[in-house]
Structure 1
Amino acid sequence: MRVLLCPDKFAGTLSAPEVAAAVADGWRTVTDGDDLLIRPLADGGPGFVEVLAEALGGRRVPVSTVDPLGRPAAGEILLTADATAYLESAQACGLHLLSAAERDPKTTTSYGLGLLVAAAVESGARTVVIGLGGSGTNDAGAGMLAALGVTPLDPGGAALPYGGAALAAVDALDGAPRLRGVRLVAATDVDNPLLGLHGASNVFGPQKGADRGDVLLLDAALERFAAVLERDLAGCPTGLGTLPGGGAAGGIGAALFALGGTCESGIGLVTRATRLDAALDTADLVVTGEGSFDHQSLRGKVVAGVAGAARDRGVPCVVVAGQVSTGRREAASAGVTDAYSLVEHFGGEESGGLDAALSRPADGLRELGARLARQWSR
């Protein structure tokens, strides 16, 4: 039997390659006669660079950067032979870099991402692809722009403090982007605009620590910033606040559009790099997964892309996840044949299943891998 293992990461616990390896290890304890194809995936968020490095090769270059509160952080860029650099916003802006008490999108900054982009530019790359996802910021990329030479100013001509809230006072821009003609690509599967009911602040702000008052403040601040970008930044497209994908990573997508960047599907890019379609064409069973299989999973995430592609080929697709909250009918309509939860595998939340899933995810995935082999292997 030919089994394709193509999961996303389990955020906060295991990388995508670790998830795939654990399931494969468990499967092989039951039978070693099946052909297991391992293709770890990512959609632009954490793990984007790691997955592409495994698929494309190239050179991984460490870069010193800062986190959303300006503290030192370790980042990296992947340089490939075709003069393309790949990086991910989560290494500098990631929500996982903040404790629960530190999450405040009014003050967190994307400045560290600007340092990563600058390093990619200085490396000689002609194209820079930026994976967007998992951010703890909501500053519409203002910090990133500042690191690249474009400083937001208040009415008195002073540089604004970092964070989304300060943009309520933005009046002008100083400087020009130092990009040396590099082409920018935003890799994301979020189609939310920067502003409005479906924008960065309203949809993603609460996940980053914003209350209702913060959301209203931030949306108004980003609206003002978008107007200044359109007026003062050469080449910025009109209607910046409404462009699909502009709300990705707290509005970093909009900042990349303002710099002349384009948008590309993160999962689509990874699918091509990993040659996933060819693997799907020959698979008898597809196993994918992520940390939480919920309603967001079916909106442009890895699981949705994989399950839809499997369904189109008439191949069963099962999901392994830390938690499963998607309804069976909804999952089936997306192409998911069945879903397995680590929490339930460990006895459910009331029996400590959640704690076990968080503390022993690899053990649980190996056990689920064995269970899958008993149920699905010929």
Structure 2
Amino acid sequence: MRVLICPDKFAGTLSAADAAAAVADGWHETAPGDECVERPLSDGGPGFIEVLATVLQGRRIPVSTVDPLGRPVSGEVLLAGTTAYVESAQACGLHLLTEQERNPNIASSYGLGLLLAAAVEAGAAEVVVGLGGSAVNDAGAGMLAALGAGPVDESGYALPYGGAVLGTAVRLEGTPQLRQVRLVAATDVDNPLLGLHGASSVFGPQKGASREDVLRLDAALERFVDVLEKAFDRQGLAVAPGAGAAGGIGAALLALGGHVVSGIGLVTQVIGLDAELDRADLVITGEGSFDHQSLRGKVTAGVANGARDRGLPCVVIAGRNETGYREAAAAGVTETHALVDHFDSEQLALAEPARGLREVVARLAQQYSR
């Protein structure tokens, strides 16, 4: 039997590659003769580079960058031919901050600009930026500053980092040093920059924003998007699909002439997921939390849809399951399992997710293996 294993990350506990390895180990405990094909996935968020590096014959270039609060962190650029891949979460990720440190008023995307600059210096003609899991809400202002075009106030002084101060921005000072590279924003977030469905309102609270912060940030981005449109002679950035990705970094990339593509679509194309689905007998996918957002273009939904179209059973294993049976089945999911239910303990599910995956999958193999 050929089992295709293609999970996303289990946020905060397991990378996608580690989750795939645990699933394969569990299956082989019961059915050692079956073939397990591991294809970890990402939709552009944390793990984007690691997943692509498993299949691309590229060079991983280490880069010294900074986190959302300006502290040194290590990142990397994956260079494959003339295309460079950059993961925004390596510099802007929510996982880089403690819960007490989360504050989108002051968090900056400056570190992403350093990663982009490194990709340009490496000789890339095209840079694909994976967006997702960010702690920032500055519409790429910090990123632009790192590239040589930071926002200034009416007196010509450079603005401090963060989203809240952008309400005083009047223009960008300088020109982004990108050497005419093509930019691609890889994300499965289609939110606009502003408004009820915008970056501040939808994603701000999970980054530490209060209701008052959300209103302040949305107003600041409304001012800053005018600055972006004038600086780069672009229109409609506030309402463009994907502009709200990663705290509005999507809007800055669009302003720079980039375009938005599906993150999961790009990854599945690179790793050849369609061909693997054609050869599979069973598909196993999963993520940390399987919820209503999972069914809106996330990794698990994309995999389940592909399995459904081929008449394949698709099993989702998640840390926790918050979807109903009917909506999951409509997406192509045959059955779901949650580690919280397996352990009957959220604490154990977070502490030993790999063991939980092995144990759940060992039982699944008894059910499905020929």
TM-score normalised by the chain length of structure 2 = 0.99
| Partner residue, 2:347 | 355
Structure 1 residues 321-356: Cα deviation after superposition (integer angstroms, max 9, x where no partner): 111111111111111111110110002xxxxx1110
Q: Which amino acid aligns with 1:290?
A: E
Q: Distance in 1 between matches of 2:64 and 2:194?
A: 32
Q: How does 1:1-378 map to 2 (within 5 A)?
A: 1-81=1-81, 83-231=82-230, 233-234=231-232, 236-347=233-344, 353-378=345-370
Superposition misfits of 4+ residues, deviation over 6 angstroms: none
Q: Which amino acid aligns with 2:6?
A: C
**Cα distance, 1:205 vs structure 2:** 0.4
Q: Distance in 1 between matches of 2:27 and 2:313?
A: 17
In structure 1, list runs of 5 or more residues that go unmatched: 348-352
Q: Distance in 1 between matches of 2:295 and 2:68?
A: 28
Q: Distance in 1 between matches of 2:180 and 2:251?
A: 19
Q: Distance in 2 between matches of 1:237 and 1:10?
A: 38
Q: Which amino acid aligns with 2:314?
A: C
**Cα distance, 1:219 vs structure 2:** 0.5
Please state whether the residue corresponding to 1:252 is helix, strand or coil: helix
Q: Distance in 2 between matches of 1:246 and 1:240?
A: 7
Give aligned-pair identity as a percent: 70
**Cα distance, 1:33 vs structure 2:** 2.1
Determine if contact 2:228/2:234 at 8 Å carries over to the other structure.
no
Structure 1 residues 235-284: Cα deviation after superposition (integer angstroms, max 9, x where no partner): x4201100000000000000000000111111011101110000101111
Q: Distance in 2 between matches of 1:284 and 1:53?
A: 26
| Partner residue, 1:350 | none
Determine if contact 2:5/2:284 at 8 Å carries over to the other structure.
yes
Q: Which amino acid aligns with 1:314?
A: G
**Cα distance, 1:41 vs structure 2:** 0.5
Q: Distance in 1 between matches of 2:281 and 2:350?
A: 30
Q: Which amino acid aligns with 1:44?
A: G
**Equivalent pairs, count:** 370
Q: Distance in 2 between matches of 1:85 and 1:169?
A: 34
Structure 1 residues 345-375: Cα deviation after superposition (integer angstroms, max 9, x where no partner): 002xxxxx11101111111111112011012
Please state whether the residue corresponding to 1:156 is helix, strand or coil: coil
Q: Distance in 1 between matches of 2:260 and 2:183?
A: 9
Q: Distance in 2 between matches of 1:237 and 1:187?
A: 20
Please state whether the residue corresponding to 2:317 is helix, strand or coil: strand
Q: Distance in 1 between matches of 2:259 and 2:271?
A: 22
**Cα distance, 1:57 vs structure 2:** 2.1
Q: Distance in 2 between matches of 1:285 and 1:245?
A: 33
Q: Distance in 1 between matches of 2:79 and 2:243?
A: 25
